[in-house]
Structure 1
């Protein structure tokens, strides 16, 4: 378990932290904020949004105060190295991602950046697929197109449309969240509360590996935050044909409320803003899917028929050498 660090420097009372933060905030109003601290705060906010974590959740996981995190994200707080290390561990990313851009670390990285700079999305996707195949340690999965994985936020239609697809394709329908619960012996919410986010991510990866191993053909509904863990998401992309089910933030919220489930927005007065930040933070990751399908403003019947037809056309057209396109 990661050690929890106090935001107060050694030898200073923790109670002084709020006063120091207030003084720093007042000072920032009189002079321009440091660009480095501002950029770092934006990166922390983006990493948090990608994982669907509220500031309160991140504060609980790291042992820091919400006020300290708020100041850090706004470019006011000058966090210690220990605090940044704790944030990186909780967000499951390299410390370099919090402090700065890893791709500025060497001449080779800079040359690669220059080569890719200005390329359009299709060209970048081709480059990614080529690199993935170049460095792949295992042959291409021959059953990839037989496993359909639906990704997206809760309320996009993964469970409902997934069951309908599985029934027509005569394959098992698997909700990865249920597999995680079976492996852990408790609901995902309890995994988070008892063991933390890192333990949940391990169960999530194990659950996906188990499903891939046991099922050559299936329709899989994946948890919305799976895409934020690169190892697990890459495994999904390698072994499944992925479909991003999109919807507007308003449609997501309406459907979630209709289901009687407000997690993780319960008790949050800025639920819609949080939802929009999560969508913005994960949009580029969801965009790595083999295809996208917008379920907004469609009846269930229309959404299913259109999804079924588009999916059939894409699967028929795809060859082993095709690059993924959205």
Structure 2
């Protein structure tokens, strides 16, 4: 199935006026589907008809509190009301309602079934590509280099590919273009890596998992391993690498690190394998990694 994710070249930021017009049309259409007059919506939401008329015509800027009232009156989720994308097919809403009822293990099974039936063409032979995910300081670089050498395949660091594609360093991308631009470069580079290499070890950036579409693509096209450690071990290893910036405000940095790891843990946990490197030497961790992976993995890059 063709990949529906927009490429970097055709991405377009929606202007404020366009967004407000689309929001107003979404409210008007939702009201019509429910057979509600504007007066009914005003009554149920506690907002004035005049304000709703302005909103539906794309002229009214609106607070989150008011949007929540409108969403509640229309029996919509706030996310559905404010989404910045084209209207979803009604079938997708039915599928979402079904999935909301599943437990985490059932959701993983459902994802696997859908990916197998409707996933990307590259999903075949995905075990030849091994992607390492996790926060900085867990050991992705060290273990990735050793694994690539052991298997005789390329080690590809997505961060290096992004810098080459952008023609600038990572910090410059964030400074000049923002995180969204970085994530678009990241997705495009990952697609190129998958197209170019049937066998490789891929070192991902720590935040790749925060983009659900890119994470899904990674899971569909690569065998994934979460390289994990405690927040304290992450911090200690980063400092040992010579980056003392986190020590400038150690307490705040540790709080931020714990929060990031807590929020990303369910995303990292979608990897097929997890390797705990805490309190383990490099040799021990590498041995654990080899034992973790299927014995059939190996082979040279044939792209």
* Alignment partner of 1:113 is 2:88: no
Hey, what's the Cα distance between the residues in 1 that align with 2:190 and 2:94?
Answer: 37
Alignment of 1:209 onto 2:196? no
1:151 aligns with 2:126: no
Q: Please, which runs of 5 or more residues in structure 2 have no aligned partner?
A: 1-12, 17-61, 68-76, 299-303
What residue number does 2:175 align with?
Answer: 193
Match of 2:105 in 1: 122
Distance 1:268 1:185, change over 3 A: farther
Q: Which residues of 2 match residues 2-41 of structure 1 at below 5 A?
A: none
Residue matched to 1:273: 255
Q: CA deviation at 1:107?
A: 6.6
Are 1:149 and 1:240, in contact at CA under 8 Å, matched by a contact in 2?
Answer: yes
Q: Is the 8 A contact 1:173 1:220 kept in 2?
A: yes
What is the CA deviation profile of residues 186-245 of structure 1, one whole-angstrom value per residue up to 9, with x for unaligned ones?
011100101111111111111111111111111010000000111111111111100000
Tell me how far 1:97 sits from its aligned partner: 8.1
Shift of 1:165: 0.2
- 1:305 paired with 2:268, answer no
Asked if 1:287 is matched to 2:276, the reply is no
TM-score normalised per structure 2: 0.66
Query: Helix, strand or coil for the counterpart of 2:279?
Result: coil
For the residues of structure 1 that align with 2:214 and 2:282, how far apart are their CA atoms?
30
What displacement does 1:111 show? 4.4
Describe the superposition over 1:105-128 as per-residue Cα deviations: whole angstroms up to 9, x where unpaired.
9676444423x1xx3x43331122
Matched residue pairs, number?
Answer: 224
1:262 to partner: Cα distance: 5.2
Are the aligned partners of 1:143 and 1:217 in contact in 2 as well (CA < 8 Å)? no
| TM-score, normalised relative to structure 1 | 0.61
Higher CA-based Rg: 2
Unmatched 5+ stretches in structure 1:
5-78, 85-93, 317-326
